[in-house]
Chain A
Amino acid sequence: MAAPVAIHLEFGGGAELLFNGVKDHHVTLPSQPDPWDVKQLLVWIQQNLLKERPELFVQGDSVRPGILVLINDADWELMGELEYQLQDQDNVVFISTLHGG
């Protein structure tokens, strides 16, 4: 069994509007047989934080186009994307790209 993981989730660039306007979420992912990865985190967010309109946040098993995921201040592409295994105290940011000027 993997121990529970406490992580810091942040939403920005307008993505926070899907979470009642709350940017910062300190959450604890419960203990489970395998270690938590980002793919499972997205499912957990949908079930626990995002109650409505999931299509504005996820597409298939990933985030929708136009949302950038950052793990500990780095592009998730550098970290293994959906397969990245979450560590205790990780910081995961979901930022919607801005287009205004």
Chain B
Amino acid sequence: MTDEVGYLKAQLEEKEKDIVALKNKLAHLEKSNASVLELYEKVTPLTPLKAKASLSNEDIMRYSRQLLLPELGVQGQLNLSKTSVLVVGCGGLGCPLAQYLAAAGIGRLGLLDYDEVELSNLHRQVLHGEENQDQAKALSAANAIKRLNSTVECIPYHLQLSSENALQLIQQYDIVADCSDNVPTRYLVNDACVLSGKPLVSASALRMEGQLTVYNYHGGPCYRCLYPVPPPSETVTNCSDGGVLGVVPGIMGCFQALEVLKIASGQGSSCGQQLVMFDAQDARFRSIKLRPKQAGCAVCGENPSVTRLVDYEAFCGSAATDKCRKLNLLSRDQRITVQDYKSIMDTAEPHLLLDVRPLVEVDICHLPTSLNIPLSSLEYRKSEHIQLLQESISQLKQQMEGDCRPPVYVICKMGNDSQKAVQVMEKMSGSEVDSITVKDISGGLMAWAKRIDPTFPQY
């Protein structure tokens, strides 16, 4: 009997402990849930940002080191707190930009990105961490900003900026920062800023270079004044093809933050009719005086032909993303799959595997038997490389019996350059390359890594 009473008391005590633990856990979760940011999937009207009458003691302490600057002062700080900024793109430029704007006490930040965080973003998109992979970039950035300065109002937009939503969105903000990564979005943001009368602080970066200009500001030129015609899509290189050193967009994003802060605080930007070029290799900044606003500009000129937003992907002939597009240059019988190539390898069928990527990519990873001749060397008919190709083909011919056309399989990263290489080689004359059968491996090494060899690196 006493045993049972003691046992029940002990049980009860244990359950009570459990209840306390559960209550604590619930309270903790409820508290953190209250500060969880809501992700916006569409554009909705925002309440107007209220101007502060004065700085609180906490504001004074927090911003003291910049309040001491006569260029900013109390009025400048108050101006920052009533300014809203839309950041288009939470990537290599947008992350440091948003970070410094929040740290400086900007009033409201709209953080827009349609994409999710990937491992290959982390070297430059410094607001996102390893644990944020697959999360919406807008949300990941907003959470990081909230940790830095909880007094900044953050609005994460997980959506693609489009002709349908851009005006409604941009009209609600005071300043727009273009941190996007593609040509159609740059024209879209420009036109929306011109049509709604907002200054556009625009930067871009690639490889080891950056550029910055403030458009549509104090009567200065807009993006279209400078670039009335979009570049041919084949001349545009994105970060996933051309590469970028993370700190380069970092520097340019910080520069954008500087110009936004100068405009927001009331000092004004001096980049309204200026192009700032940054060369990271030579550690050199250069400022170039640009043309004034153009009377004949299609959107900000005297008789504009663009009076509402248009189809920017059609205008630019490219998609509003920096993802690689898949080319289809060859017929089906000119291509093989990675599975086909695997069986060619397994049956040890004599062939030549030609890797047409640049050397810097071959150094990252390659298949062991491949011969590397970059596409550009084939296109420019570089003699030492053509000779190397000829030698490899004649060796292959010796291995094969009878008079046949030795098979050459061309591979690259994604299966675009390999198709171009097949076309180049088919145009080569008999004196350059003997009769061969040349095909490309569809999907390239990334398809090989996905479907055949999961241990092969992806980049």
Residues of A within 8 A of B (CB): 12-14, 51-53, 55-56, 64-68, 70, 73-75, 77-78, 95-101
B239: chain A residues within 8 A (beta carbon):
100-101
Interface residues on B, range: 35 or more
- A14 touching B207 by the CB < 8 A rule? yes
- Supposing A98-B210, A100-B239 touch, asked if A73 and B288 sit within 8 A by C-beta, the answer is yes
A56: chain B residues within 8 A (beta carbon):
234-235
A74: chain B residues within 8 A (beta carbon):
288-289
- B380 touching A99 by the CB < 8 A rule? no
- Write 10 A-B pairs (CB below 8 A) sorted by A numbering: A56-B234, A56-B235, A73-B286, A95-B277, A96-B231, A98-B204, A98-B205, A99-B238, A100-B181, A101-B239
- A101 touching B289 by the CB < 8 A rule? no
- A75 touching B289 by the CB < 8 A rule? yes
Question: Quick one: which of A64, A73, A77, A96 contacts B291, CB cutoff 8 A?
Answer: A77
Question: Apart from A13-B211, A66-B227, A100-B237, what are 15 other A-B pairs with CB-CB below 8 Å?
Answer: A12-B209, A67-B231, A73-B286, A77-B291, A78-B289, A78-B291, A97-B204, A97-B227, A98-B204, A100-B239, A100-B242, A100-B244, A101-B89, A101-B179, A101-B180
Interchain CA distance A74-B182 in the complex, whole Å: 26
Question: Quick one: which of B249, B279, B291 contacts A101, CB cutoff 8 A?
Answer: B249
Interchain CA distance A73-B203 in the complex, whole Å: 19
- B94 touching A64 by the CB < 8 A rule? no
Question: Quick one: which of A66, A68, A95, A100 contacts B232, CB cutoff 8 A?
Answer: A66
B92 at the A interface (CB under 8 A)? yes
Question: Quick one: which of B94, B178, B210, B236 contacts A66, CB cutoff 8 A?
Answer: B236
A95: chain B residues within 8 A (beta carbon):
211, 277
- B181 touching A66 by the CB < 8 A rule? no
B46: chain A residues within 8 A (beta carbon):
none
Question: Quick one: which of B89, B228, B237, B279 contacts A14, CB cutoff 8 A?
Answer: B237
B209: chain A residues within 8 A (beta carbon):
12-14, 98
Question: Quick one: which of B183, B229, B288, B289 contacts A99, CB cutoff 8 A?
Answer: B183
B181: chain A residues within 8 A (beta carbon):
99-101
Interchain CA distance A101-B226 in the complex, whole Å: 19
B91 at the A interface (CB under 8 A)? yes
B313 at the A interface (CB under 8 A)? no
- B203 touching A101 by the CB < 8 A rule? yes
A78: chain B residues within 8 A (beta carbon):
289, 291
B396 at the A interface (CB under 8 A)? no
- B288 touching A75 by the CB < 8 A rule? yes
Interchain CA distance A86-B109 in the complex, whole Å: 48
B445 at the A interface (CB under 8 A)? no
Interchain CA distance A56-B237 in the complex, whole Å: 12
- Supposing A66-B235, A75-B290, A97-B227 touch, asked if A52 and B242 sit within 8 A by C-beta, the answer is no
- A65 touching B230 by the CB < 8 A rule? yes
Interchain CA distance A66-B290 in the complex, whole Å: 15
Interchain CA distance A56-B210 in the complex, whole Å: 21
B379 at the A interface (CB under 8 A)? yes
- Supposing A64-B235, A66-B236 touch, asked if A99 and B291 sit within 8 A by C-beta, the answer is no
B93: chain A residues within 8 A (beta carbon):
101
Interchain CA distance A55-B279 in the complex, whole Å: 25
- B275 touching A68 by the CB < 8 A rule? yes
Question: Quick one: which of A51, A52, A66 contacts B230, CB cutoff 8 A?
Answer: A66
Interchain CA distance A78-B225 in the complex, whole Å: 13
B244: chain A residues within 8 A (beta carbon):
100
Interchain CA distance A38-B226 in the complex, whole Å: 18
Question: Quick one: which of A14, A65, A96 contacts B229, CB cutoff 8 A?
Answer: A65
B322 at the A interface (CB under 8 A)? yes
- B242 touching A99 by the CB < 8 A rule? no
1/0 contact string of B84-120 vs chain A (CB within 8 Å): 0000010111100000000000000000000000000
Interchain CA distance A54-B322 in the complex, whole Å: 25
B254 at the A interface (CB under 8 A)? no
1/0 contact string of B170-214 vs chain A (CB within 8 Å): 000000001111110010000000000000000111110111000
- B230 touching A100 by the CB < 8 A rule? no
- Supposing A13-B211, A66-B227, A68-B226 touch, asked if A100 and B205 sit within 8 A by C-beta, the answer is yes
Q: Which residue of A lies closest to B230 (CB)?
A: A65
B236: chain A residues within 8 A (beta carbon):
66, 99
Instruction: Please give the distance in Å from B213's CB to the nearest CB on chain A.
Output: 10
Interchain CA distance A67-B92 in the complex, whole Å: 23
Q: Which residue of A lies closest to B322 (CB)?
A: A100
Interchain CA distance A87-B207 in the complex, whole Å: 33
Interchain CA distance A55-B181 in the complex, whole Å: 24
